[in-house]
Homo-oligomer: A and B are copies of this chain.
């Protein structure tokens, strides 16, 4: 049985709704949070990559977490992305979010520069030893300095405040290497996967849950998939994973990330605005042309799921 302190299930790295002028759309954000909770997500993850955290200012990032925590009202846990320009700024954000009542923060490894493992370790240790909130490491080697398995193990061993890893590499064997090394000494340590295309096999391999962008579009499907694995219904979990992949593929390849996921939410009736990257008329037209394809993919999986 899973340790009750661990995160479990599917946390949604929610898109940040913006209005026509590109400002945070608070009403939409509150409404979307309610919709996600109503559709069964197990947690929220504001200021993740899907939330375009790097494209918002430090003040905006705090406002996003404030709104999400306030609207959630403790119904489900909130894992707040807290990476800022440097360790000191990140520590301040962590503590601010902790004071707001988030269950934990998630901190991506330093990006832009590609740091070696010793520097990555040092960065997280400095933060973990200074904050008064639990910290989840966020490994996304495609975008940020990689957090090698041995660094995760060292941090789990050295820093009680480090309580989990969110891994978006999609590397199943690495997930298993981390679980094998850490779980015997830290029963409270959470393993989450951020790579939707591997969600089922990651859960089968021992991960506690996922922080998956698709859960912001088809939360019923990702929830059912997670519950199937928990219930030991592996064939059903794989059947749902086979449904999830084409939806994920269509959204991840549509325009620049996370434009495709914005198209996905439109298929559910949520127009969350245009995103923070300028896009050309051609690109906008191309996305519009693909909307009905996305609509169809989403519709194909949601009715049956809604009947459950």
Q: Interface residues, chain A, CB within 8 Å of chain B?
A: 22, 49, 54-58, 85-89, 110-116, 118-119, 121-123, 125-126, 142-144, 170, 172-173, 176-177, 180, 197-198, 200-201, 204-206, 232, 234, 238, 241-242, 245-246, 249, 256-257, 276-280, 282-283
Return chain B residues, CB-CB under 8 Å to A246: 180
Cα–Cα distance between A280 and B158 once the two chains are bound (Å): 14
Q: State how many angstroms separate the Cβ of A90 from the closest Cβ of chain B.
A: 11
Chain B residues with CB under 8 A of A110: 277
Contact A113 B143 (CB under 8 A): yes
Cβ–Cβ < 8 Å partners of A122 in chain B = 277-280, 283
- Residues of B contacting A242 with CB < 8 Å? 176, 180
Is B89 in contact with A57, judged by CB distance below 8 angstroms? yes
- Distance to closest chain B CB from A2 (angstroms): 15
Number of copies of this protein chain within its complex: 4
How far apart are the CA atoms of A144 and B54 in the complex, in Å?
13
Cα–Cα, bound, A49→B113 (Å): 8
19 contacts between A and B (CB under 8 A): A49-B112, A54-B112, A54-B113, A57-B58, A57-B85, A58-B58, A87-B277, A111-B111, A112-B112, A113-B143, A114-B143, A119-B277, A119-B283, A122-B277, A173-B198, A173-B245, A201-B201, A205-B241, A234-B234
Report whether over half of chain A's contact residues are helix, strand or loop; otherwise say mixed. helix
* Nearest-neighbor residue (CB-CB) of A60 within chain B: B85
Q: Which residues of B contact A277 (CB under 8 A)?
A: 86-87, 110, 115, 119, 122-123
Q: Are B245 and A176 in contact (CB under 8 A)?
A: yes
Tell me which residues across on chain B come within 8 A of A177, comparing CB atoms. 245, 249
Q: Are B198 and A172 in contact (CB under 8 A)?
A: yes
User: Roughly how many angstroms separate A54 CA and B282 CA in the complex, as a whole number?
Assistant: 32
- Measured CB to CB, the closest approach of chain B to A177, in angstroms, equals 6
Q: Are B126 and A87 in contact (CB under 8 A)?
A: no
**B276 lies within 8 A of A86 (CB):** yes
A256 & B112 in contact (Cβ 8 Å cutoff):
no
B-side contacts of A282, CB under 8 Å: 118
Q: A114-B142, A119-B256, A177-B249 are in contact. List 15 more A-B contacts (CB 8 A).
A: A87-B276, A87-B278, A111-B112, A112-B112, A112-B143, A112-B144, A119-B277, A123-B278, A170-B173, A172-B197, A172-B198, A173-B198, A176-B242, A177-B245, A206-B238
* Chain B residues with CB under 8 A of A49: 112-113
Q: How far is the CA of A12 from the CA of B56 in the complex (A)?
A: 30
- List the B side residues contacting A278 at CB < 8 Å: 87, 119, 122-123, 125-126
The answer on a CB contact under 8 Å between B118 and A205 is no
Inter-chain contact A118/B280, CB cutoff 8 Å: yes
A73 to chain B, nearest CB (A): 29
Enumerate chain B residues within 8 angstroms of A173, measured Cβ to Cβ: 170, 197-198, 245
B283 pairs with A118, CB closer than 8 A: yes
Closest 5 CB pairs of A and B: A173-B197, A201-B201, A126-B278, A55-B86, A54-B112
